[in-house]
Amino acid sequence: MSIAAAVNERARGRRVRLDKPELLAPAGSLEKLKFAVHYGADAVYIGGQKYGLRSNADNFTFEEMREGVEFANRYGAKVFVATNIYAHNEDIEGIEDYLRELQEAGISAIIAADPIIMDTARRVAPKLEVHLSTQQSVMNWQTVQFWKEEGIERVVLAREVSMGDIDEIKRHVDIEIEAFIHGAMCSSYSGRCVLSNHFTDRDSNRGGCCQSCRWKYDLYAKGAPLSDPLAPDFPLYGEEEDAFMMSAKDLCMIEHISDMIESGVDSFKIEGRMKSIHYVATVVNAYRQAIDSYFENPAAYEVKPLWRDEINKAANRPLNTGFFYEAPGPEDHIFGPEDKAASYDFVGVVMEYDEQTETAVIQQRNYFKPGAEVEFFGPGGTHFKQRVDVIRDEEGAELDAARHPLQLIRIQTEQPVKPLDMMRKRTR
């Protein structure tokens, strides 16, 4: 079934929905958590020092978790913690104390895949909700029903579900459903990959994935004669040919938010705990606007090109709609050099703004200089472009460039800005 046909089918069975779905954002660090919430996330998911599948992220200490929870609560947002490894025997020691600490820190829920972690949480930290991780690859309503009967409060569906699968699940089972709407897809089925283990001894299901599917590969022939173990191998592709990759395009449902809302999905999940604060803020901001626009007037809802334009400014790879409408084909994979969609660099964060002098204090995050065309954006609609005239340091001295990371500089802005608004510049 084509995308257009699938959308028309759903339009004939349009659901009326009054409750907004939760917008769930990734937060690989405390700073990213604060930006995600500030830019419109209803909840964030983070990783602690143990038991999560992003061991290379800037994972949270318990002290940072408490600060993050306190910040989120001021916005009415929640914080979830990924404890979604498949545990080996040596991983079990300490899990009880860890879960108790999460509960005491004010964490709302854990995201778990291993039944031992789920059962332990119910026993020692009963205030924690348990959400079933996408690592369990749930795709049908009977499996959802099974986990509901096991006491799970929410099921995070496999990335391979279709819109039809979601419809059937929601018809049969009354339980919270979470689905990915944006971010990286896995070339293996629902993340069940052992390439990383094989190549680098880094276990994907214990937080160590080396993303070997995104490496460049070549096909080699054994040197002649075959009986000579020292004969050099040689590549079968020429130097002008692209190396082979098995990298999937990223998921993006910004143009199909009405379908997702009407499907009854309770939580819209954005992938990307390893991504930058610019990525998190940009993507959350776009989806926040799309969801809010729908609920202002569902009958008159229209997709705004600006939302997709904003997404493209932070995109790491080409985008598609995953498995929601039809199974991805060869055109949905990247078999050569990636065509980077993002053409902007994140260059600064607004810290202060003086209305009288129309001057903003900017914390520099990337090099820029006078004459550069920059773009400001923020939650709630701040969005404009201007050319940078004069850059001054904190003491008022004129600078030939903003070249020192985290340096505070001052520039005049053509429109008012607010703290935590962002500034970026076009790179091509």
Give the tens place of pLDDT for each residue, 216-245.
Answer: 777 777 665 555 666 677 777 666 666 777
How high is the pLDDT of residue 47? 92
Mean confidence (pLDDT) of the chain: 88
How high is the pLDDT of residue 2? 45
Give the tens place of pLDDT for each residue, 189-214.
Answer: 776 777 777 788 776 665 567 777 77
Give the tens place of pLDDT for each residue, 79-134.
Answer: 999 998 888 898 889 999 999 999 999 999 999 999 999 999 999 999 999 999 99
Please report, for the chain, the start and end positions of each structural domain, with discontinuous segments joined by +. 3-188+248-334, 344-426
Average pLDDT over residues 48-77: 85
Give the tens place of pLDDT for each residue, 318-367.
Answer: 899 999 999 888 888 877 766 665 678 999 999 999 999 999 999 999 99
Asked if residue 270 lies in contact with residue 26, where contact means CB atoms within 8 angstroms, the answer is yes
Residues 6+ apart with CB under 8 A from 130: 109, 110, 112, 118, 121, 122, 151, 152, 153
Instruction: Say if residue 52's pLDDT is above 70.
Output: no
% of the chain exceeding 90 in pLDDT: 67
Question: In whole angstroms, what is the distance from residue 34 CA to residue 69 CA?
Answer: 10
Question: In whole angstroms, what is the distance from residue 332 CA to residue 320 CA?
Answer: 7
Would you state the structure tokens that stand for residue 340, as one six-digit string?
């980077």
> 344-426 has which fold?
Elongation Factor Tu (Ef-tu); domain 3 (2.40.30)
Superfamily designation of domain 3-188+248-334: Copper homeostasis (CutC) domain (3.20.20.380)
pLDDT bin (cut points 50, 70, 90) of residue 387 is very high
Average pLDDT over residues 24-31: 95
Phi, psi of 323 (to 5 degrees): -100, 5
Quote the distance between the C-alpha of residue 146 and its chain's center. Answer: 28
Instruction: Say if residue 71's pLDDT is above 70.
Output: yes
How high is the pLDDT of residue 363? 97
How high is the pLDDT of residue 185? 86
Closest CA to 80 of 31, 128, 8: 128
How high is the pLDDT of residue 1? 41
Q: How far is CA 384 from CA 318, 421, 425, in A?
A: 25, 11, 12
Q: Which H or E element spans position 233? A: none
Instruction: Say if residue 143's pLDDT is above 60.
Output: yes
Residue 37 C-beta-side C-alpha neighbours within 13 Å: 24
Average pLDDT over residues 54-68: 81
